[in-house]
Structure 1
Amino acid sequence: MCFLCNAGLLSIHNLESEVIKKNQNISSSNSEENNTNKELASIDIQHLTMSSQEINTRLNLASTERTLRLYISPGNESISENNENEANTPYSRTPEEWQYEYIRENIVKISSFINLKLKEVTNKKEADYILVIHPNPQKDSLSNNTLMVSHSSGAQSPFHLEENPDLVQHDSDSKATQKEIFLHELGHLLGLEHPWDKDDGDFAVNNWSDPHASTRMGYNEHLSGKVGWYEDIDISALQNIWGEAEVKSYSGNSYDYKFYNLGNSKFGIKHENGNSIDPLTGITLLKFDEQNLHKSSDIKGTFDQVTGLNTDSGKMFRLYNASFKRLPDPDGLRYWIGNFSSGKD
């Protein structure tokens, strides 16, 4: 379980409540002023990278397709939590449009930086990870395969502790802050840890309150709502895990192009009005006007299913291509090959 408040540490919201209770005269601004007088600890890639075992678990899930499948709970689904009393099992909240927006925007955006595709699926059983908007406050965490963000996260007092999510009020600042909280938890999903986590033997600071250089995985600027993305050190750590995305942009839509299997796991692309095939050497992500395609998951994942010209898979590949006038998507092609081979369709 990966929490903002790990190993008995208070969450930031909990900390705020405790400070208010113990001493109404002490403000968070004074605390920040005191920290500015201390030297910031530097953070290296290894300080933000989980143990090799945790990283390998994620790499194995992504497999050679370099894809992690994410399911966004549409609401009213039971949430599995460690040590949760079954009688009080919470149910996911239907994400609001702005929550759907920041989730989808960022799972697409991160794939422009790392050699990994985060794919949204609609079948929960197909998912590697489940993304949930939690109705209860202070539930921001990655627990097993469930990434949770509380609906009230980011909201100012008293709404960040409001037990009834329908009463929580969000403004532009609180929405921006909740987006940053999601990015923090997404970092955990992708293999990043807090710079004070010591289980893997390396750490930059002893605990979250020690002043340290800015990182989305730490305390500094985590709840500012001003940054809206990862710091450079976070991206470097992610690229150390997944590799760097090599991106090439193409004009027009993907269906304006034809794709070719050149053999030996090499592929090419040619515009429908072009004269030559452009080899996709060293490219991991292809950007078109209407969508992005990953070479490993979308292109290789499709061609790997075609076992021969006159096999069932070859016939369905040609039929799919002729019917939809585009490269088949791997899941769609797999579905139709299965149906055709079984005699269902």
Structure 2
Amino acid sequence: MITLDLTLPDCRYPIHIGRGLLDRAGELMAPVLPQPRALIVTNDVVAPLYLARLEASLAAAGIQTRAVVLPDGESHKDWQTLNLIFDALIDMRAERKTTLVALGGGVVGDMTGFAAACWQRGAPFVQVPTTLLAQVDSSVGGKTAINHPAGKNMIGAFWQPRLVLADIALLDSLPPRELSAGLAEVFKYGLIGDAGFFDWCEAQAAALMARDADALIHAVRRSCEMKADIVGQDEKEQGVRALLNLGHTFGHAIEAGLGFGVWLHGEAVAAGMLLAADLAAQLGRQSAGELDRIEALLAAVQLPVRAPDLGLDAWLSLMGHDKKVDGGHLRFVVPDGIGRASVESDVDADALARVLGGRFIAR
């Protein structure tokens, strides 16, 4: 087992990475729970696979549990589904010290964290991510939210977990499309801050797709190391943390424009990263060769390399609702070559129009 620490001014928590950790969950969680009671939040896809094992592990550690099983999918990341968590907390007479445990992917993790932030003005929670995307990104850093029909993750809170338990063995049951979607977020870390890691991803793309354990552990570890370092510097996204949004301004517009759940989040981010890289090329910050490398890597793991044609007006309207709009101006994270990135808040309208009508838009 590998353990990383995320350190913030007012809290510190471990990120455990390895195989077979689900059956050790009780042992690993017990020291960080303020009372031996927990509500496990999961969904109807994950529950048949892993809920009983998690319940058994927590019971063996003396932790009493209840479970609530949510409908699966991004389309259910809303107030109505969130209320199912509150209903379960009320039914079990949960207290402020009762821990919420997220067993699932990014949707479950985001909703569980947001519910914990709201429950009696703040309850502890733990992340047990079951998808690659959640293990490398959404489970770490304390961003929690639900969607609004006009925009993704518009309603939420910064609320840090007490512990993250990333069991690589849970990825064995992940559908291939979900595995590919998670790799988009892995590649993002190389693009924004580690050219050597991007090189490694290119060399190991086939191994990652084949679910090689060593390759996956390294990918999760390096991604979590980079995210922990960035979040440790900037918890509330006032500066460097914004770089983690590479591809997300375009990607969130794709998700909202097509309808939440039509494209997976990682698929939308992949197309969004290509659009951001094309924008960087339009601004003279990215070479054609680097753009080709990014496209080739995404294609190698079966991620989209063409965004849907939403139409220029729809693109601009949808991106105008993004959380990263500042003072009425769209902000984009753009790669400055592979391994570096920056935030661009004064994008030339003609350059943006060329990107949204260019080679990475499906015809």
Please state which structure has a larger fraction of its residues in helix.
2
After TM superposition, the score normalised by the length of structure 2 is 0.24
TM-score, normalised on structure 1?
0.25
